[in-house]
Amino acid sequence: MSDYCVKESRVYATGHSNGGGFVGTLACSPDHGGQFAAFAPISGAFYTDVKGNQDCHPARSPLPMFEVHGTGDKTIPYAPTKDGSGGPLPSVADWEKDLGNGVHDVRYNPDELSLSYNGGKDCLVLLILILACLPATRAPAAAAAAAAVDPRPATIQAIYIAPPDPFPEVEDFVASTTAEYRLDLARYALPMRQALEAYRADKPSVRAIFMGTRRTDPHSESLAGFAPTDASWPQYMRVNPILDWRYADIWAFILRLDIPFCSLYQQGYSSLGGVGNTRPNPALAVDAEGTRFKPAYELLRDDEERLGRDV
């Protein structure tokens, strides 16, 4: 990414791809390529940072892409059928027809965006994805030669709505990652609606909040990628980039990139809430007494993720 400077006027795209070849076709298209600052087809088990494998349209340069693919992806047929129906999408027109709703115009300026962050695995993945898509801040050559330059932005706005009885391990992890990833974190120990009202008063410029919500979360089965809050709530657009990620995808991403995570996950907690409503996942128990547990990333089924949560 250090070779690219992404303008705020660019839009981004997320969607499914049958491989880097088609991603290159779409990203380098004369009709669509100029829209993309980066292209991130998200669909599974491992992460690579690649450039397109073909020459771009002469009107533009190649651009960075972040690809996530998995052999078990239920959306992408990796084995073509004889009539080609199971093969890669053959053209940009097919992508527009089937997956074009993954392209969005720029809706918000950076100061209008925030991240919902509580130290959990899902919002941690989302934070890393956001960091990967941000443009690098470039220093003058003289300054760069004089000292090592950290290319990350100054801060990322974030909101932490803490439970009334947070785990000390979670609080410590939130504090350490707030410093590590340079979050401008506003912490509220309030019910969600009151916390959002307070955040609206404290950060009136924020209009949209990135959420680490996935479809397996409660009441999220029919959630859209862009979902406004209910009319009676403080008005924000909820942005859900990892809505269709599975539990295994989250952990594959974290482990493959060796991203530090909260220590409770090593103790068998697969979903984190407060001390009073969260316990190690019984599906990860390794003894009949339930005193020892496998780490959270060894859980296999999405529908067992919240077995350790009372709510």
* In a shared domain, residues 180 and 212: yes
Residue 133, pLDDT score:
78
Query: Do 130 and 248 reside in the same domain of the chain?
Result: yes
* Domain end marker among 78, 102, 126: 102
In a domain, 3, yes or no: no
Residues 137 and 94 occupy one common structural domain: no
On whether both 143 and 224 belong to a single domain, the answer is: yes
User: Is the pTM above the cut of 0.85?
Assistant: no
Residue 19 lies in a domain: yes
* pLDDT single digits (tens) 130-186: 888 775 433 344 444 444 555 445 789 999 999 999 999 999 999 999 999 999 999
Chain segment 29-75, per-residue pLDDT in tens: 655 555 554 444 444 333 333 344 445 555 544 444 444 443 333 33
Same-domain pairing of 244 and 136: yes
Which amino acid is it at 18? N
Q: Are residues 136 and 98 in the same domain?
A: no
Taking the C-alpha atoms of residue 194 and residue 283, their distance in angstroms, rounded to an integer, is 35
Residue 265 lies in a domain: yes
Give a yes or no: residue 197 inside a domain. yes
The total of structural domains in the chain comes to 2
Dihedral sign, Cα of residue 143, residue 148, residue 150, residue 154: negative
Instruction: Decide if 27 contacts 33 (C-beta within 8 A).
Output: yes
One domain, residues 233 and 177 = yes
Of 102, 129, 154, the residue at which a domain comes to its end is 102
Q: Are 148 and 243 in a shared domain?
A: yes
- Per the CB < 8 A criterion, the answer to whether 100 and 76 are in contact is no
What pLDDT is stored for residue 82 in this prediction? 43
Is the same domain home to 122 and 268? yes
Task: Give the domain-ending residue among 50, 78, 102.
Answer: 102
Which of 106-110, 112-116, 124-128, 174-178 has the lowest average pLDDT? 106-110
Query: CATH number, domain at 311?
Result: 3.40.50.620
Q: Are residues 199 and 276 in the same domain?
A: yes
**Residue 125 placed within a domain:** yes
168 and 297, same domain (yes or no): yes
Answer whether residue 142 is part of any domain.
Answer: yes
Q: Structure tokens of 218?
A: 């409660």
Residue 232 and residue 94 share a domain: no
pLDDT tens-place string over residues 250-268: 999 999 999 999 999 999 9
Provide the domain limits for residue 299. 109-311
Pairwise pLDDT comparison (36 vs 239), residue with the higher score: 239
In a domain, 4, yes or no: no
Report yes or no on 260 lying in a domain: yes
